[in-house]
Amino acid sequence: MQLHFFLRGEYRAIRRFKEEMSAIYLDFQYEKDDGKGGFIPGTSINYRMQIILRETPFGIYEIVFPKQHMDLILTTVLGKKENNLENYKGYGKYILMFRKLLKLKKIPNYDNSKTLIILKNGIDIIPIGIKDDPTNADRHENI
């Protein structure tokens, strides 16, 4: 999954947020490789994957993470469900423009019962949208 958002705030607080997000590792289950470029159906192996935080043009940030951790990442980054587009009415037309340009979907409803502790003091996170990762022929997520 890919979460896109704007960051606004004090320089050191933004740098700290980016460093803390980049230091997170999450479990990721994948099917075992058969050694020939394919996968063995019905098998699984656990990996630890580092969250990928990228800065894209126009000051848009993107976090790449496993789909199975969507609720955890959305709650960690965006907070409770009330932190959505309604809080940023002045930005609405720009957010919708970027969402269309980047082919993103609206942030879905998510379970906010779990979160990671990340310092977000001094920054404002403005969500744009979310996108599924491309999948290969075996319908595996290409992260």
Question: Residue 93: which domain range?
Answer: 2-131
In a domain, 124, yes or no: yes
Q: Mean of the pLDDT values across residues 84-103?
A: 79
The tally of domains found in the chain comes to 1
In the predicted structure, residue 85 carries a pLDDT above the cut 60 = no
In a domain, 142, yes or no: no
In a domain, 46, yes or no: yes
In a domain, 68, yes or no: yes
What would the two tokens of residue 105 be? Answer: 């979907």
Q: Mean of the pLDDT values across residues 53-81?
A: 89
What would the two tokens of residue 91 be? Answer: 């930005």
* Among the listed residues 75, 52, 62, the one whose alpha carbon sits nearest the alpha carbon of residue 128: 62
In a domain, 29, yes or no: yes
* Among the listed residues 89, 141, 83, 91, the one whose alpha carbon sits nearest the alpha carbon of residue 115: 83
In a domain, 137, yes or no: no
How far is the C-alpha of 133 from the C-alpha of 77, rounded, in Å? 19
* Among the listed residues 13, 6, 1, 20, the one whose alpha carbon sits nearest the alpha carbon of residue 121: 13
In a domain, 140, yes or no: no
In a domain, 136, yes or no: no
- The reported pLDDT for the residue numbered 79 is 85
- The reported pLDDT for the residue numbered 87 is 65
**Stronger pLDDT, 87 or 118, i.e. the higher one:** 118
